[in-house]
Amino acid sequence: MPDASAHSDRVVSTRTTRLAPSPTGDLHLGNVRSLLLAWAIGRRAGWRVVLRHEDLDATRSSVEACDAIEGSLRWLGLDWDGPSTRQSDDLEPYFEAMRRLESRHLVFASSLSRRELRAAAGAPHGDGELRFPPELRPDDEASWRFDGGETNYRVTTRSGPEIVRDELLGTHRFDPGAEVGDQIVWTKAGRPAYQLSVVVDDDRQGVTDVIRGADLLPSAARQQRLRRDLEIDGDVTWWHLPIVHDEAGRRLAKRDGDTGVEGLRTAGVPAERIIGLVAWWCGLVDTPRSMPADTIPELLDHDHLRSMVTSETTEPLRFTNEDRRWLLHS
């Protein structure tokens, strides 16, 4: 694993990473950990760090939620280069990507409902996703034209290995064709699906390094495939971070209201306390103590990242009641 600090691009950064929160509610401590580490790895190495709000789900996102996330990030002590962006601001690049896929005869409209797909495709993939097999592709020409309409569009996804080389988690082999089949790239809300929007934005924002939670590791394989479908040169460098669990061993989620940053802030917890807890979780300090975010890039060398990943692979990180008490009784 290369040491992020060893890159000599401090003067003219040729690399860019991004903070890409989904503004669907308060950031929880798992989000904070991933965002803080992405920011700290980028800042330590002198990369450009951009902030992109992934707000394409109009039913769950809002401008107010984007502003609130920026407020939380600033309060925590994180910053970013240039103005932040919101995916919903300009849909044209996604339409353009769809037209590119259409010209290569790679996308088709499919209005099969989940129930119909389940009946046709059988058991879902491990994470509950239904596989869309090639047999269900439509054979009428009209379905292979993209009219920007409010229909699901899928991209043909062949079976075969897709290797993801991750700076933190090592080499992983996926087979998106066998796992999920033809994945959705455009939704019936008339908007790009997550996988397409991320690939388009990482490309147009010049992102070279994607640092995010390990729950998205399988998406890396799908995104690599889509990059090739869109004839984007090369792959990004992946850094997937182990995710944080609750006391019961479930992934921290927005349902766990009491792990939200704004909730903690309202309860009087100082930002330095939250940063200190995350630093301790990551093995950057021996005992939890308050510290500002700008101390993290200095502390976060690759030995720490490596030992964090090794220890969390054996024993997943949990936000315990003891952690909560430490936060609240500052």
Binding status of residue 20 toward ligand GLU by CB under 6 A: yes
21 binds ligand GLU (CB under 6 A): yes
Q: Determine contact, residues 308/323, Cβ cutoff 8 Å.
A: no
At 251, is the secondary structure helix, strand, or coil?
strand
Question: Which of these segments, 19-27, 92-100, 283-291, 313-321, binds ligand GLU (CB under 6 A)?
Answer: 19-27
Over the range 298-324, which residues count as b (16 or more CB within 10 Å of their CB) and which as e? eebebeebeebbeebeeeebbbeeebb
Give the E-state strand segments of 144-208 in sequence order: 153-155, 162-166, 170-174, 183-186
- Nearest approach, Cβ of residue 35 and ligand GLU (Å): 9
| Minimum distance of ligand GLU from residue 79's CB (angstroms) | 18
Residues in the chain: 330
Q: In 169-270, where does DSSP find H-type helix? A: 176-179, 194-204, 217-229, 261-266
The span of 3-11, 18-26, 238-246, 277-285 binding ligand GLU (CB under 6 A) equals 18-26
Give the shortest CB-21-to-ligand GLU separation in angstroms: 5
Minimum CB distance to ligand GLU smaller for 70 or for 301: 70
Find the binding residues for ligand GLU in span 172-231 (CB under 6 A): 198, 212, 216
Q: How far is the CB of 290 from ligand GLU (least distance, A)?
A: 26
Instruction: Classify strands 162-166 and 153-155 as parallel, antiparallel or unpaired.
Output: unpaired
Judged by CB under 6 A, the stretch of 14-22, 42-50, 69-77, 183-191 that binds ligand GLU is 14-22
Q: How far is the CB of 134 from ligand GLU (least distance, A)?
A: 27
**3 state DSSP class of 17:** strand
Pairing of strands 183-186, 153-155: antiparallel
Regarding 272 and contact with ligand GLU (CB under 6 A), the answer is no
The yes or no reply on residue 72 touching ligand GLU (CB under 6 A) is no
Closest of 125, 188, 113, 127 to residue 157, by C-alpha: 125
Pick 4 or 291: Cβ nearer ligand GLU: 4
How many chain residues interact with ligand GLU (CB under 6 A)? 7
Does the footprint of ligand GLU cover residue 54 (CB under 6 A)?
yes
Applying CB under 6 A, which part among 3-11, 16-24, 65-73, 167-175 lies near ligand GLU?
A: 16-24
Decide whether 252 or 305 has the Cβ nearer to ligand GLU: 252
How far, in Å, CA of 154 to CA of 184, rounded? 4
**Segment lying near ligand GLU (by CB under 6 A), choices 15-23, 125-133, 150-158, 235-243:** 15-23
CB 76 within 8 A of CB 293: yes
CA distances (Å), origin 225, targets 98, 109, 182, 205, 232: 15, 19, 11, 19, 10
Minimum gap (Å) between residue 20 Cβ and ligand GLU: 4
* Residue 65 engages ligand GLU in binding (rule: CB under 6 A): no
- List the structure tokens of 145: 């034209």
Q: Which of residues 93-152 bind ligand GLU (CB under 6 A)?
A: none
d(CA 203, CA 55): 18
Shortest approach of ligand GLU to residue 235 CB, angstroms?
14
Nearer to ligand GLU, 121 or 217 (CB): 217
Counting Cα atoms < 13 Å in the Cβ hemisphere of 316 gives: 17
**22 part of the interface to ligand GLU, by CB under 6 A:** yes
Q: Could you list the residues that contact ligand GLU (CB under 6 A)?
A: 20-22, 54, 198, 212, 216
